[in-house]
Amino acid sequence: MGRKGTDFELKGLKIVATGKALPKHSLTNEDMSKLVDTNDEWIVTRTGIHSRFQCREESCLSLAVGAARNAMESGGIRPEQIGLVLVASQTADYAFPSTACMIQKELGLGEEVMAFDISAACTGFLFSLGTARGLLEALKKPYALLIGSEQLSRIIDYTDRGTCILFGDGAGAVIVEAAEKEFYQKSWSRGDIGALSCPGLGKEGQHIQMNGSEVFRFAVTAMQQGISEVLAEKGLTMDDIAHVVCHQANARIIGHVQKKFPGQEEKFFINIDHYGNTSAASIPLALDDLNKAGRLKPGQKIICVGFGAGLTWSCALLEL
Ligand code: ACO
C-alpha cells in the first residue's frame, strides 16, 4: 500500500545516533620508523597521518560491540527497538558465523533480528547504508544498527613500508531509521583484484597488497565523480551541503578532491591524522566525531563518499 507499482519511492534515512570504539594502544609515526625504513616527515607529507590505533587486547568483534553500545547509549536506543544489524568489515574474528550474528547475542537483541556482514572493503559501510534503506521498511522495528569495524593490524605486513604506515584499527556505529528525509545514493562495482586485494582463508600471504599510485588516482576520480553526479542528479550544488565525509584513506587524496570544489574546502571533514585508514570504519568514525563535536544539525544535508577494493565506490546524500 502506498507504493506506486515498480517505481515506488522508498523513504529516506535519518541518523538517530552514532558511536565509536578504539583500541587502547596507538602507534605513532616514530613507532613505525622502528619497524620499517620510514620517518614522520615522509608519512605526514604523503598521507597526513600522525598516529593510528592497533589492537592488542581488543578484536574486530569487541570493537564492533563497543561502538554499537556507545551509539545505543548516546541515542537512548533499547535493544528491542533494533530490527537489523549490518557489519561492514574485512577482518572479522571468524569467517563464520558473521560478526553481526555475534553482536546480536552480545547486545541481547531478539532472535527475530536480521543480522549479517557486508564485504565491500572500505566502501562496505556505505553499501550497508543503502542495504538498510531497502530493508528498513519491511522490518517491524524502527532502527537499523550499522557498524564498520576493522582489525586491519591482522592483515598488515609490518615489513612493507608502502602499506603498513597507512592503516589503523577501530570501529564506528550509526543507528538509522526510515524517515521522510532526502536520501540519494549511487554505487559502483568494477571487478578488479590487481589494484587492491588480500588473499582469502588458507591462502599464502594473507596481507594487504596494493598498487598505491593506481589506487590514489582511482580514488580521486571516483570520489569526485560520485559527489558531482549525486549533486547534479538531485539539482543541488555544494552550497547546499554542510559537510562532506570522505573515506579517510589519505589526506592528500581528500586534498585533490577538495580542489575540484573551489571555495568549499572547509566542508570536507578530515580526521585521518590520528586514526590512519580504518577501511570500513572510517566513515562511521568520522560521522561520530562530527556528531559528538555538535556539528551535525537537523535539516543539514551531508554527503558521504567512499571507495575501496573491488574496486567499489559509492556516494550518499543524507538529510539530517
Ligand atoms: N616511508 C618512506 N618512503 C616510502 C614509504 C614510507 N613509508 N613508502 C614508500 N616509500 C618510497 C617508495 O619506496 C618510493 O621510493 P623510490 O622512489 O626510491 O622507489 C617513494 O617513496 C615513492 O613511492 P610512491 O608509492 O610513489 O609514493 P606515493 O606518493 O604514491 O605515496 C601512498 C604512497 C601513500 C601509499 C599513496 O600512493 C597512497 O596513499 N595511495 C592510496 C592508498 C589507498 O588509499 N589505499 C586504499 C586502501 S583502502 C582498502 O580498501 C583496504
Domain boundaries, the chain: 3-179, 183-319
Find the 212 Cα to ligand 1 centroid distance in Å: 5
Q: Which residue's alpha carbon is nearest to atom 37 within ligand 1?
A: 212
- Residues in the chain, pLDDT under 50: 1-7
219 within ligand 1 shell (Cβ under 6 A): yes
pLDDT of residue 7: 44
pTM assigned to the model: 0.94
Contact 167, 277 (CB under 8 A): yes
From the candidate CATH numbers 3.40.47.10, 3.40.50.11540, 3.40.50.2300, 3.10.20.30, the one assigned to the domain spanning 183-319: 3.40.47.10
pLDDT of residue 6: 43
Cα separation, 143 vs 78, in Å, equals 10
pLDDT of residue 9: 62
pLDDT of residue 2: 41
> Pick the catalytic residue: 246, 247, 271, 315?
247
Find the 42 Cα to ligand 1 centroid distance in Å: 10
- Grid cell of 277 as nine digits: 585508514
* CA-wise closest residue to 31 among 58, 50, 59, 57: 50
291 within ligand 1 shell (Cβ under 6 A): no
Q: Which residue's alpha carbon is nearest to atom 33 within ligand 1?
A: 212
- Grid cell of 134 as nine digits: 531497502
Q: Where are the beta strands (DSSP E) in the chain?
A: 12-21, 26-28, 51-53, 82-88, 114-118, 143-150, 170-179, 183-192, 196-197, 209-210, 243-246, 268-269, 301-308, 310-319
Cα separation, 117 vs 102, in Å, equals 11
121 within ligand 1 shell (Cβ under 6 A): yes
Cα separation, 62 vs 53, in Å, equals 14
Pocket probe mutation, ligand 1, options 213, 218, 247, 283, max atoms within 8 Å of Cβ: 213
CATH 3.40.47.10 fits 3-179, yes or no: yes
| 277 carries an active-site annotation | yes
Find the 158 Cα to ligand 1 centroid distance in Å: 14
| 247 carries an active-site annotation | yes
Q: What is the pLDDT of residues 265-297, one digit of tens each?
A: 999 999 999 999 999 999 999 999 999 999 999
Type of residue found at 260: K
Query: Strand pairing partners for 144?
Result: 84, 176
Q: What is the DSSP secondary structure assignment for residue 228, as one 8-state letter?
A: H
Q: Which residue's alpha carbon is nearest to atom 29 within ligand 1?
A: 46
Cα separation, 318 vs 320, in Å, equals 6
Find the 128 Cα to ligand 1 centroid distance in Å: 29
